[in-house]
């Protein structure tokens, strides 16, 4: 049993009773839980992609935010064995956040939520009643982890500026 306690009231979900063909609704339809397949390939890029987060929009479309990692320069083992350690410092690497939407049988092309070359983790996504996606994530800037957010209109590239949600001394990594 999974229990959630938003301000609107207690939600008690029994996963074995959630069906794939019919959504379970809670809090007068404000929350919808549906069983979905366990794996679907979303991308075909050479990047390392992980940490997906999904939300269903009011039109039934599924919005997925994820992290894509670009690998940097490789380590030259032969050079290291001769005492040249310059390749141990990787360059050209980093994370980028993307958002893709499944509307019907097809996935949209991924939309860049952030620039590349960042240090990000744990994205989440929420979809408002107008179909706009809100992507929130933790990002390391100047050795400080804080939370950031961006709104993306339905079916379009990022429209809003990236907004900093926290600016604390500690590490804000949980969204």
The CA distance from 51 to 1, in Å, is 24
Q: What is the pLDDT of residues 105-122, one digit of tens each?
A: 788 889 999 999 999 999
Structure confidence at residue 33 as a pLDDT band (50, 70, 90): confident
Q: CA 61, CA 8: separation in Å to the nearest integer?
A: 24
- Give phi and psi for 54, each to the nearest 5: -130, 150
Q: What is the DSSP letter of 39?
A: -
Entry pTM: 0.71
Quote the CA–CA distance of 80 and 82 in Å, as a whole number.
Answer: 5
pLDDT tens digits, one per residue of 136-145? 999 999 989 9
Residue with tokens 């397949």: 37
> Both tokens of residue 55?
């939300």
Predicted pLDDT at 79:
93
Using one digit for the tens of pLDDT, what is the confidence trace for 71-108?
A: 888 999 999 999 999 989 888 899 999 999 988 878 88
- Find the angle CA(33)-CA(37)-CA(43) to the nearest 5 degrees: 115
**Banded model confidence at residue 24, pLDDT cuts 50, 70, 90:** confident
Q: Where are the alpha helices (DSSP H) in the chain?
A: 77-81
Element (H, E) at 78: helix 77-81
Q: What are phi and psi of 74, to 5 degrees?
A: -75, 160
Confidence at residue 156, expressed as pLDDT on a 0 to 100 scale:
64
Report yes or no: 134 and 128 within 8 Å, Cβ to Cβ. yes
């Amino acid at each position: 049993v999974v229990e959630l306690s938003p301000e609107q009231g207690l939600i008690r979900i029994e996963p074995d009773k959630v069906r794939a063909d019919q959504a379970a609704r809670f809090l007068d339809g404000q929350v919808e839980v549906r069983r979905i397949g366990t794996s679907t390939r979303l991308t075909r890029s050479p990047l390392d992609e992980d940490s997906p987060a999904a939300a269903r929009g009011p039109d039934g479309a599924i919005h997925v935010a994820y992290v894509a990692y670009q690998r940097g320069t490789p380590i030259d083992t032969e050079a290291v064995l001769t005492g040249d350690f310059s390749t141990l410092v990787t360059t050209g690497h980093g994370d980028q956040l993307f958002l893709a939407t499944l509307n019907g049988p097809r996935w949209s092309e991924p939309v860049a939520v952030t620039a590349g070359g960042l240090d990000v983790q744990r994205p989440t996504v929420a979809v408002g009643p107008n179909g706009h996606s809100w992507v929130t994530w933790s990002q390391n800037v100047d050795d400080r982890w804080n939370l950031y957010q961006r709104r993306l209109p339905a079916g379009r590239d990022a429209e809003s500026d990236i907004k900093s949600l926290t600016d604390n001394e500690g590490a804000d990594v949980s969204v």
